[in-house]
């Protein structure tokens, strides 16, 4: 898979998520960077399709943590509304990092020091109304 993609629709970004899902192994931690509306959750929807989850995938903005039983157990976290690191520690964030979960985190910036060092970073950039750049680092 390439390091950088340009997508022209919601579905194209999902497609990149789907392709990316083939490279994932259980235990991986994936960090998603990008502004509000950049397409982070959209990317995760495609990723979960690629992992054979065919239910509805919603943003964890309010729930904070969503869990999906796909090809592997997937924990989808969004730190946007909870910027207090201590609360994430209290929720038990660190317990999710183990070899039975794939952990995906949107807005991880405020909890970087309690996330394992070895992560895959996915960056989404809003170019215009329907164009996004997706790059991996």
Ligand X SMILES: Nc1ncnc2c1ncn2[C@@H]1O[C@H](COP(=O)(O)OP(=O)(O)O)[C@@H](O)[C@H]1O
Residue ranges binding ligand X (CB under 6 A):
7-10, 12-13, 34, 36-42, 59, 106, 130-132
Bridge partners (DSSP) of residue 123 are 33, 135
Closest separation in Å from C-beta 7 to ligand X = 4
Nearer Cβ to Mg ion, position 34 or 50? 34
34 binds, among Mg ion, ligand X, none (CB under 5 to 8 A by kind): ligand X
Q: What is each CA distance from 72 to 56, 87, 90, 102, in whole angstroms?
A: 16, 26, 25, 7
Closest separation in Å from C-beta 33 to ligand X = 9
Nearer Cβ to Mg ion, position 11 or 100? 11
Whole-angstrom distance, CA of residue 82 vs CA of residue 21: 27
Whole-angstrom distance, CA of residue 129 vs CA of residue 137: 24
**65, 91 contact by CB (below 8 A):** yes
Whole-angstrom distance, CA of residue 108 vs CA of residue 136: 15
41 binds Mg ion (CB under 5 A): yes
Closest separation in Å from C-beta 99 to Mg ion = 26
The residue assigned the tokens 């790059």 is 135
Closest separation in Å from C-beta 36 to Mg ion = 8
Choose the binding region for Mg ion from 33-41, 69-77, 97-105, 121-129 (rule: CB under 5 A). 33-41
Give the residues lining the site for Mg ion (CB under 5 A). 40-41, 59, 106
């Amino acid at each position: 898979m390439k390091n950088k993609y340009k997508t022209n629709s919601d579905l194209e970004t999902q497609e990149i998520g789907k392709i990316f899902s083939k490279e994932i192994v259980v235990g991986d931690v994936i960090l998603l960077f990008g502004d509000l509306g950049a397409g982070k959750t959209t990317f995760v929807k495609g990723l979960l399709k690629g992992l054979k989850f065919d239910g509805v995938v919603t943003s964890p903005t309010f729930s904070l943590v969503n869990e999906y039983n796909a090809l592997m157990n997937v924990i989808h976290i969004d730190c946007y509304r909870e910027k207090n690191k201590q609360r994430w520690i209290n929720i038990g964030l660190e317990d999710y990092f183990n070899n039975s979960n794939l952990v995906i985190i949107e807005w991880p910036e405020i909890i970087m020091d309690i996330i394992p060092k070895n992560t895959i970073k996915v960056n989404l950039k809003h170019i215009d109304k329907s164009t996004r750049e997706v790059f991996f680092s």
